Amino acid sequence: MSKVFDGLTVIELADRRNQMVGKIMSDAGARVIQIEPTRGSPGRWVGPYLNDVQDPNKSLDYWWYNTGKESVALDITRLPGQQMLRRLIEQADVFVESTKPGTLAKYGLDYASVAPSNSKLIYASLSDFGQDGPWAQLEMNDPAHLALGGQMGVGGYSDPKETPIGGQGRQAYNAASVITTHSISIALWDRMTTDLGQYIDVAIHDCCAICTERPVSYWMWYNQPSVRQTGQHAGPVYALPIQVQAADGRYMNARFNFPNNVWPKMVEWLKELDVVGDLTSEKWNDPPTRAEAAKVGGEIEVALKALLAKVPAQEAFERAQSMGLTWGVIRAPEENLDISHFKERNFWRDIEHEDIGKTLPYPRGFYFSEGLDVSPDGRAPHLGEHTKAILTEKLGMDAAQVDMLVQTGVVR
C-alpha cells in the first residue's frame, strides 16, 4: 500500500524536541535520515533502557520516537561535518532542525545559506520561542513550556492545594512537532504548484499557547479564570468528580448528566440493582432538574455510586456504552496490549529487533486508510548504523574516505 510521504527524503538534525516530526514522516513513508552527534542523539540518553542498562542503542524512549529512520553520526561542529551535512541538505526535500536560533548560521547551514542551492527545500526550524523576538535566545524544557504556555495551570487535581501537573510524555514537544508536521505538509502541497520550497519557523511556546483549549476563551469572553478539574476539562466552576470506584475496585470515568433518551434506561438499570431511590419521581424527567443535579450532586450522584459499587467496571462500561453513555474504564497503558478491540483492528505492528532476538508490538499509526498507510516499517536505528552507506550513496565517498573520517572522529 502507498504511503503519504512516499518518495520524499527528510534530513532530521537529531534532538528530543523535533524527533516526533521525523517519526510521523517516516511512518508515513518518507526516508528520514537522522544526523546525530557522534555520541548519539540526546534522545538516546533518555530512559528507561532495556534491562535497565544504559546504552545509546537500548533506550525504549528513543525506540518509540525513531521508528524506521536511518542514522548518520556526524560532528557538525567541525568543517568536514558541516560540508557533508550541507551536501545532504542540498539533495533533500525537507530539513528539520531544533537548534538554538543562530546556531546553524555560524556553520553556514541556515536557510539563507542552503536555499540557493536547493530552491525546492522545505526548511523547518522548531525552537523554544521562535527565531526572533525578545525571548528568542531563552531555553526551556518540556515541563517549563507546559507551565509558561498555560497547560500546567489548568492540569491536575481539583483540590487547589495540590500542585499543578503537566501532561506526561513531553506534550509540549509533541504538540509542536505535530504542528510542524502539518506545516511541512502544507508547504509540500504548495510546492506542487509553485515548485518552490519555503522556510517554516515554529515556536514551541506558540504551540502551547494555542493548545490551552477552553480556558483562554473563558477569559477572553467572560473574564473568568479556569480551575483545574481532576480528569476533566478545566472550567470556571468546579464540577462533580467523575472518577467512581466500581465493584471490582477499578475506577471509571462516569458523568452524571443524562439526555432524555437515556434517562429511562438508566432508571431501569438502577431499579434492577435496587438503588433507584426517589429517581422514579416525575420531577427527574425534567432535563434542567437533572442538569442541576449533575452540577451539585445529590440523589443522582448517590444512586450512581451505589450502582457502580455493585457492578464490575468492564460490565458497567459495556452496559453504559449500549445506552449511549460515554463512560470508560480507567486503564494502565500496558493493558491496551491485551484489549480485543485493538487486536481485531490490527492496531499493533510487530517490529523485529534482531539485535535482541525479539519482535515487539508498536502502534500501527495515527489513522487507518484504505489508500494511504501510516505505520512503522522498522526499528529505530543503531547509532551511526547507516553512516557509511549514506556517505557512499549520497556523497559518493569510497571506503577509504569514510575510514579516514572515522579515524579523525568526524563521523562514527
Which cell numbers hold the place of 179? 504542528
- Read off the pLDDT of residues 74-88 as tens digits, 9 standing for 90 and up: 999 999 999 999 999
Helix ranges restricted to H, 79-223: 79-90, 103-106, 111-114, 142-149, 171-194, 204-209, 214-222
3-state secondary structure of 72: strand
Tell me the pLDDT tens digit for each residue of 28-44.
999 999 999 999 999 99
C-alpha 395/C-alpha 89 separation (Å) is 11
Segments of 323-411 assigned E as strands: 328-329, 348-353, 358-363
Q: Cell 429511562, residue?
A: 264
Q: Is the pLDDT of residue 405 over 80?
A: yes
Averaged over 340-353, what is the pLDDT?
Answer: 94
pLDDT at 296: 83
Which has more confidence, 50 or 167?
A: 50
pLDDT at position 368 is 82
* 237 φ/ψ sector (left φ>0, alpha ψ -120 to 50, else beta): beta
Contact between residue 69 and residue 105 where contact means Cβ atoms under 8 Å apart: no
Give the span between the Cα atoms of 170 and 168, in whole angstroms: 6
- Percentage of the chain with pLDDT > 90? 86
pLDDT band at 98 (very low <50, low <70, confident <90, very high): very high
- pLDDT value at 168 more than 90: no
- 311 versus 161: the higher-pLDDT residue is 311
In this predicted structure, which of 47-51, 123-127, 343-347, 408-412 has the lowest mean pLDDT?
Answer: 343-347
Residue 295 pLDDT > 90? no
CA angle 64-68-71, nearest 5°?
95
* pLDDT-based confidence at residue 373 (cuts at 50, 70, 90): confident
**pLDDT level of residue 256 (50, 70, 90 thresholds):** confident
Q: What is the tens place of the pLDDT at every residue in 257-277?
A: 899 999 999 999 999 999 999
**Which range, 104-113, 227-236, 292-301, is most confident?**
104-113
Task: Examine the pLDDT at 342 and tell me if it is beyond 80.
Answer: yes
Query: pLDDT tens digits for 201-224?
Result: 999 999 999 888 888 888 999 999
| pLDDT for residue 240 | 87
Contacts 24+ apart (CB under 8 A), 236-245: 237/295, 238/158, 239/295, 240/294, 240/295, 240/296, 240/297, 240/301, 241/158, 243/330, 244/304, 244/305, 244/308, 245/308, 245/309
List, in order, residues 6 or more apart from 396 with CB less than 8 Å away: none
The answer on pLDDT for 190 being more than 80 is yes
pLDDT of residue 225: 92
167 falls in which pLDDT band (50, 70, 90)?
confident
Q: What is the mean predicted confidence (pLDDT) over 384-398?
A: 98
